Amino acid sequence: MEIIKIRNLSKTYNPDKVPVHAVQGIDLDFHEGEFSCIVGPSGSGKSTLLNLIGGLDTPTDGSVEIGGTAIDSLTDNELIDFRLNNIGFVFQAYNLIPVLTAKENVEFIMLLQKRPQSEINLRVKELLESVGLGDRVNSRPSELSGGQQQRVAVARALASKPKFVLADEPTANLDTKSANTLLDIMQDLNQKENITFIFSTHDHRVVERAKRVITLEDGLIASDKSLDV
């Protein structure tokens, strides 16, 4: 099932000075259950494209439609609610709240969704166990390794039961063992729960596991290949 439809998507920075055409007229579709990555050299537009898909940036032209909703036509408050209920984010820098425990970081989005506390407690327990951190629920980020922090970030991204997860360079700060553990977890979630993952990455470890590799060059799609994995 098609969940993301991108048409003529463009983003230009500094249009009134020296324009930077980060993304130029991109057309793409993503389907439910994909495990895809967007690759390309620095400055090719990978992170910009991911941010446009996730509604973290506003396109100069074109549209992004998710599950039939054109997110570029939403008001700021509508977009916040839409992201909260439909999109999970995993960032290179983890972006965990330092004063909160692993449990509190994961449950934060569900509290914003005003879910019952009993449901929240059960979901947090399931998620932290699924990423191998069932025994670290009360640990703060400073008490966790980089790989463990990123696994908490994955659990947090999945807490709201999103339609898909956007992961921007999620393995960039991790050693090989931690990166492979994280990728095993995400690949397992993709295969068993049909969760859609879209990565922006330089990391060959991610690319080797992807079912689809989209290559950007100068804000344009240079290739789009589906792979047998």
Q: Closest by alpha carbon to 34, among 164, 131, 155, 154?
A: 164
| Phi, psi angles (nearest 5°) of residue 89 | -120, 135
d(CA 196, CA 36): 8
Task: Kindly list the structural domains of the chain, giving each domain's residue range(s) and its CATH number in brackets, ordered by start.
Answer: 2-226 (3.40.50.300)
Q: Side chain identity at 168, as an amino acid letter?
A: D
Spans of the chain below 70 pLDDT: 1, 228-229
What does the pLDDT read at residue 178? Answer: 86
Both tokens assigned to 204: 């060959």
| Beta-carbon count within 10 A of 112 CB | 13
d(CA 115, CA 110): 6
- Report the half-sphere exposure of 82 (CA within 13 A, side-chain side): 20
The dihedral of CA 213, 73, 91, 110: what is its sign?
negative
In 195-210, which positions are buried (b, 16+ CB within 10 angstroms) versus exposed (e)? bbbbbbbebeebeebb
What does the pLDDT read at residue 39? Answer: 95
